[in-house]
Structures are given as C-alpha cells and as structure tokens.
Chain A
Amino acid sequence: MSSENVSLWDEFFKGIGRMNPVYVLLLGLCSSLAITTRMENAIVMGIGVIFCLVCSNIIISAIRRFVPEDVRIPVFISIISGFVTLFGFIARAYMPAIYVALGIYLPLITVNCNLYGRAEAFAQNNPVMPTFMDGLGIGAGYTLAILGIAFVREALGFGEIMFQDLAQFTIKILPFQVGVLQQPAGGYIVMAGYLISFTYLSKRKERKRKEDIAEERKRTMENRVKGVN
C-alpha cells in the first residue's frame, strides 16, 4: 500500500519538476506567453487548465478500453472541448472581467498541447487513479510556470501587481515601467530567461553528477590497486 502511495505522489511531483510542461516538455507555450501580462489572468488560466486537464483525463482513462485506435483523436478532443466549454461558462458567470481579458485563449485551452498530450501519452494507457495524480501534477506545474512568467512581466512591466476581480489590491513594486514586458515580445524575453537558467542549472547538476561518478570510480579503482599490492 505504502509503495503505491509513493508512486502516486511521484506522478504528482514529476509534473512540477522533472517533467514540467512548460520548461521541460515545452508544451502549452502559446497560452503561457499570451495571457501572462497579469498575475490574475494567469491564476484563472491555471485553474482552467487544471480543471479541464484533470476532468478530461479521468474520463479518457475510464473509457480507454472502449475507444478504437482510429477515432481516438476526435473522441479525446471532444471530451476535452466539452470541459473547456463548461469552464468558459463558469468563468463568464463569476469572473466577467477576466473572461474578457483572456479572450480567445480561454476557448483555446482545447488545443493546449498539454491536454491532448497527456491524453495521448498517459491517460489512454493508465488506470484512473494515477491519471488523476498525473493530471493534477502537470496542471500544477503549468500553473506555477505561468505564474512565474506573469509575476516578472507584471511586476516589472507595470511596476505594480494589481488584482481587480479575484481580490482587490495593488502592490507597488517599481517606480517606473519596463514597457517592453507588457508587449508580446516581453513574453518571449521572460520565457527565454527562465528557460536558459533552468537548462543551465540542470546541465550543471548533471555534469556534477557525472564528475562525482567518475571520482567514485577512480577512488574504488585506486583502492583495488592498493588492495592487490
């Protein structure tokens, strides 16, 4: 039982770190660059993706034995699209300002590569429980990633963090604005910054591990040579 729990948590955490959808798998880039001008939009987008991803993953995993291989694309995508439409209604009713700000990117969650990607790569081959954790983890990883981009873009681009719809407050951060970060180019710049630093860190970690292994091997060899002598 305990080992099963461990593997379920593993499914969850791999989405945040090792298999982060935005920085490692490079999926769902469109929405993560387009709607990250404000933190508030990013939060709602993240909730939307988690909701649609988890729900559609569960359904796809539950019906995986009844879907013929040839028609799986239309079947999966209409399940996903159903949940996206549902989330659109919820957002329109309770967060009208954000619904307008997200614009076409909210219906486009349907074609967010993460959702279809997880259906194809994970949900259609795995039972419901791991699929649920996988969806939750990938969704959380995606949300954290876009929150990171949105924080930099809003804090530097507008000089303040402003919430209007979910809560109402404004935090002043800078006395000036870095205008380029509000524009589409800003999304690419911040994304590139994050991506380069993460790649650099993971490469360095890997190199260090390889050096450690080499060191270890050298030491055991020396010990063995000493032992023979």
Chain B
Amino acid sequence: MAGDLISIAIGAILVNNFVFARFLGLCPFFGASNNWNNSMGMGVMVIFVMVCSTVLSWLVDTFVLIPMNARYLENLVFIVVIAVFVQLVEMIIRKYSPSLYKSLGIWLPLIVVNCAVLGVVTINAGENYAFSQALVNGLFSGIGFMFALLLMATIRERLDLMGVPESMKGVPIAIVVAAGFSMAFRAFVGLI
C-alpha cells in the first residue's frame, strides 16, 4: 500500500509532471512563471485548491454519483464543485485576511479555469483511486506543478538579462526552455 502511494507520488511529480509531460495548466504556467514571487503565489494556491477539490470531488463521486449511477455527469459536477469552492475561498479570504487576499487572492479566479485542477480530479475518477491514492495524487501533482513553475521562474529571471532576439522575447523563448525541460523529464520515465 505504502509502495503504491510512493509510486503515485513520484509519478505525479517527475514522470507525469503536469507541465512537462501532461501539458496541463499551461496558461497559468506561462503567465505566472516570469518571476519567483509570482510562481510561489501561484504554486501555493494551486496546491491548496488541488488538494481541497480532490477531497471534495472524491466525496461527491463516491457518495453521490456512483450510488446514483450518474458518473456520466462527472465533468459537470466536478467543475461546479471546483468553481463554487474557489469562489467560497475567495470570499472567506477577502473577509478575514485582506493582506493574504492582496498577495494570493488575485490568482484565485484564474485557478477555476486552470486545466490542472480539473485534470487531476478527472484522472482520479478515471483511475478509480481510493481516498488515500486520490489525496496523494492531488497533493503531489500540485507539488509537481509548483516545482515546474519555480524551475521555469529561475531560468526566466536570468533570461530577462540576456540578449534574446526580438521575435523570441517573452513566451516564445519560454516555450523553447520548456521543450528542454520536457526532454530532460523524459529521462524519469523508467523510475516507476
């Protein structure tokens, strides 16, 4: 059981990294990876939302959709669960901690339409993961996403100081860098 969980965790961070192998969450990835602070904020928020929506959607899936034989509605139900949860968190943070809202809250509305969150939930449902497996998958996929963001941010901060050709400035050079990372992450395939 523990070995199974460890292999899910390693798989989620390295082998099937959301950004470099599965291509999920690219919009916020290229949007927020331009400096270290943005990457930290986005990464922390994504991990938080991913873990919570994994738990919520697992509960909904197991106790509502499967008994009612309505798994074909998964997509609709999951995205509504995520959207409502995120909206709720936004309201709570805005009310009780304006400073936290200022630093992290701006990422929240973006996260609803982040494919990574719905992606991890869909993968959990598709693989019929048990609760512990789903939780580990959600947590470590989020960590993998943040890891990718931070890796990218370190490189892009340096790229700002380099003489990049004019037509490659910004996102194009970031995609070239991502291609390099993606090839490097390919080496982890044999791990599990």
Q: Which residues of A contact B (CB under 8 A)?
A: 26-31, 33-34, 73-74, 77-78, 81-82, 84-85, 88-89, 104, 107-108, 110-113, 116, 180, 183-185, 187-189, 191-192, 195-196, 199-200, 203
Closest 9 CB pairs of A and B: A188-B179, A200-B167, A34-B23, A185-B182, A29-B26, A192-B175, A185-B183, A74-B83, A199-B167
Inter-subunit contact A196/B122 (CB<8 Å) = no
Q: Say yes or no: A196-B79 contact (C-beta < 8 A), given A33-B23, A77-B112, A184-B21.
A: no
Inter-subunit contact B79/A29 (CB<8 Å) = no
Q: Which residues of A contact B114 (CB under 8 A)?
A: 111
Q: Say yes or no: A29-B30 contact (C-beta < 8 A), given A77-B83, A111-B79, A184-B186.
A: yes
Tell me whether chain B's interface is mostly helix, strand or loop, or mixed: helix
Inter-subunit contact A188/B126 (CB<8 Å) = no
Partner of A82 from the list B20, B22, B24, B76 (CB cut-off 8 Å) is B76
A195 CA to B168 CA in the complex, in Å?
A: 8
- Chain A CB within 8 A of B166 CB: yes
Q: In whole Å, how far is A52's beta carbon from the nearest beta carbon of chain B?
A: 11
A82 CA to B24 CA in the complex, in Å?
A: 21
Partner of B118 from the list A34, A82, A110 (CB cut-off 8 Å) is A110
Q: Say yes or no: A29-B27 contact (C-beta < 8 A), given A73-B109, A78-B76.
A: yes
Partner of B79 from the list A78, A185, A203 (CB cut-off 8 Å) is A78
Inter-subunit contact B119/A108 (CB<8 Å) = yes
By size class, the interface of chain B is 35 or more
Q: Which residues of A contact B26 (CB under 8 A)?
A: 29-30, 33
- Chain A CB within 8 A of B178 CB: yes
- Give the most central of B72, B75, B167: most A CB within 10 Å: B75
Partner of B172 from the list A31, A111, A196 (CB cut-off 8 Å) is A196
Q: Say yes or no: A107-B30 contact (C-beta < 8 A), given A34-B23, A195-B175, A196-B167.
A: no
Q: Say yes or no: A85-B72 contact (C-beta < 8 A), given A73-B83, A113-B27.
A: yes
